[in-house]
Structure 1
Amino acid sequence: MKVQVRKGDTLWGYSQLFHIPLVLIMDSNPHVDEKQLKPGQAIHIPGFTVDRHTVQRGDTVWQLAASWGVNAGTLLLLNPHIDPHQLPVGQTLLIPSRVTTCIVSGKKRYDFQQMRKDMHQLLAIYPFMRRREAGRSVLGLPLYDIRIGRGERKVQINAAFHANEWITTPVLMKFLNEYLLSLTNYPVMRGVQTLPLYMNTQLSAVPMVDPDGVNLVLNGPPPEREKEVVAINKGSYDFSGWKANIRGVDLNKQFPANWEFESTRKPTLPSSRDFPGYAPLSEPETRAMADLVRKERFERLLALHTQGKEFYWGYEGLEPPDSEKLAQQFSRVSGYKAVRYVDSHSGYKDWFIQEFRKPGFTIELGEGQNPLPLSQFDEIYEAASKLLIHSLI
C-alpha cells in the first residue's frame, strides 16, 4: 500500500500509526531519505492493501475506523482531501486493510506460473522483500532468488532441484509468506522471535531450481521439446517420474564433489532421472546455483527434497563441528531423523560442504512415492516450517 507524505510526516510516525516496525518501512522504501520527506512523495507501507468504501448517510471517520478496525488517523492519511466532520454521501473512501492471512496456498498443482503469480503478490504487499535472478533455465525461465532480512549472516534455502519433487516449492513459498506475516503482524513464529532474525540474518530462497522440469511434470512437454523429452522418457507421456531438467540431466548429480566416481554408477545418457550429465556443472541451472554460493558465501545451506522424513548433514567427514549440533536441533523440532552419511555424491549439499566447510543439509520432506500427494501438504509443512525457522537462528 502507498501513502502520500503530508507536511511534518515521518517514517517513524507511519510506524506508530500502522503498528509496523520502522525497519520494515525503511527497507520498503530504500531510495527514500528519511530526513528529507517531501509532501506528495509516495511511501510504501508493508503489510497492508487498500479497500474502498462508499460513504453512507450518517458515516463518520471515527465510526468507519471502528467498524473497519483501523486507526482514524490512517483514514485521514489515505484520504487527505476529506472533511472528517462532514463526509459526502456517495464519496469513495480508501480504507487501509491489514493483511493477516497467507496468500500462498500449497494445496494445488504448483507450476512456475503459479509461483511467479504468488511472488508478485508477496512483493506488492511486502516490498521489503527483494527479488533478483540467480540465473536462467535451459528454456530461459528465471531462477528467482528471494531475499528477506538485512543481516550480514546469510542462509540459503532452495527447493525443486528435482522436477517431480515440486511440492517442495509451495512448502518454501508458504514458509516465506508466513515469515513475512509474522514480521508485520505477530512477533513469534513457531516459538521464534522473527524481527531479531530479520535484523541478524539475510535469507536467500530459490523456490524453484528446475522450472522447466516442474512445468514438464505438471503441464506436459513444451512443443519445441516434445519429441526430445518423449524419447528420453521411453515414448511415454507420463512424466510423473521425471526428476531431471528438460535435457534429461539430474541437477542434483551435477556438482564437482566426486562427480567422476558418481558418474560411473549412473546412467550414461540423458534420462528421466539420475543422469549426472557429461561433465559437472554442464547445465545452466547448476552453474547458477554454484555461482550463487561462490558469490554470497552463505553460512549454511538447506536443500528441500522429498521423501523420507529424514535429512542428511555430513559429507566425507568435511562437515564442520557445528553441523552435528544443528542436526540435533533440526531433528528435535521437526521429528525428522538426522542421518550423517549416505552413499551418494555430487549433490549440491555435498559440494557446498566440500568447498566451504559450512553446514549443509538435504531435507527429505514427507514420506511415500514421488510425487507426493497434496493430501500430505499440511503434515509436510508443519515439520518443514519448524525446521526452516530454526535454520535462521
Structure 2
Amino acid sequence: MKKGIIKKGIQFYKRYGIRGGIATLTGQGQIKDKNYAAWYEKNKVSEEKLAIQRNKEFPYMPLFSILVPVYNTPIPYLREMLDSVRNQTYQKWQLCIANANPENEDVARILNQYIEMDIRIQVVNVPENLGIAQNTNKALSIAKGDYIGLLDHDDMLAADALFEVAKTINDKNADVIYTNEDKITMSGEKHFQPNFKPEYNLDMLRSNNYICHFFIAKASLMKEIGGFRGEYNGAQDYDMIFRCTERADNIVRIPKVLYHWRMHEQSTAENPESKRYAFDAGKKVIEDHLKRCEESAEVQMTEYPGFYRVKYAIKEKPRVSVVIVKETKNMIPKDTLIKIADDYGRDRVEFDVVDGNYKGDIEFDGISINTLPWKKECNNTEMLNYGIEKTKNEYILVFVFLYNKSVR
C-alpha cells in the first residue's frame, strides 16, 4: 500500500473518528464538513426538549464540578465558555476556575462579573503560573462535586451535556464517562470535524488519546489518585484518563456530541506541530501507564503527532498454529511454509490445511502438515472457522489461498 494512502487514512481517522471512517468506507455515510454542519443543525436538541430537561428530576442528582484553568483567555472565548456552563439544562453544577494570571485586568473583570451573577462560579487566583497541571489542581482543590469534568478555557459544552451525563450515571452507575466531540470555528458559529468515538478500548487508548473531551470521573477517584501531575504538562489529561480508567469499575461512552473544541492556529486541534512537547509527554504517559500495569513494552512515536505504537515484549515463544485455507488445486507455496517453520522454530509451529481439493496428505522437507479435507462447497469463512476449531494452540496465523494469490 502506498505511504500516501496510509497517511490520508490516519488523517481521516483523526478528523472523523472510527465510526465516521467506517460509515464512509462502507458507503453508509458522508462525513464531509459541510454535510456535518448541516447534520449538526438538524440533529441538535430542540428548544422544546431542552425545556423538558430543565424540569427533569433524577433519582440521583449528582453535583458536577467543572474544572477550568484560565490563562489570558481572549474575552469573547471566555464569555462563551462561561455561558455554555450557565446554560446547562442540568442545573446542579459548580464551575471551578483557576486564574493563572490575575493581573490580567480584563479577564479578572469578566470573572468577577460572572461570580456576582452566579454563586455556582468560583475562582481561585494563582499568583504565579504553575503550568496547566498544577493550575488545574488549584481548581480541583475547591471542587465539592460528586463528579469532576474537564473543560478548556476557550471551549464550550453543549447545553444538554451535563443532563446526558447525569442520565448516564443514573442508568448505568458509571465511574468514568466520556462523550463525542466536534470542533468549532473561532467565531463559534460553525461546527465541523466530528469525532465519533468507539466504546472503551484500552489498546486504542494506548495508541492515541481518543477519549479526550468531554471527560468526567468520580471526584473520589480523581482525588484518590492525587490529581494532575506536572511532569506530564501538555498531556496531563491523557495521564488522568489512564489513571482513572485503570481503577474504574464502569467506563461508559455517551454517543452524542456534547463538547465543542475551539480551533485556532496555535491549538493542537488545528496545528499539532505547534505543541510537539505535548506529544512527547504523551509517550511518557503511556510508558508510565504500562509500568503500572506491569506490561513489558516499548512505546514508539509515529510520524503522525499524537499517535503511538506499543511493541509488547514476548516473554516466551508460544506454539503457533498456521491455518491454511486452500480452495483450489493450486499448490501451496512450499518455500513460504518452510521459511515460517525455520524462522519461528519447527518444534513450535504446526500447519493445518483445510483443503477444498483434497488429493491426499501433504508433507515436504520434513514438515508435517495436518490436512483437513473439505467436502462441501468452498466458502472461505466456513473453511477458516473449521480450521481454527481444529487447532490446539492459543496463537493462530491464517493463510487463505485464492487461485494464484494468498491473503494473510
Q: Shorter-chain-normalised TM-score: which range?
A: under 0.3
- Structure ranking higher on relative contact order (CA contacts 8 Å, 6+ apart): 1
Q: TM-score, normalised by structure 2?
A: 0.23
Larger radius of gyration: 2
Q: TM-score, normalised by structure 1?
A: 0.23
**Structure number with higher strand proportion:** 2
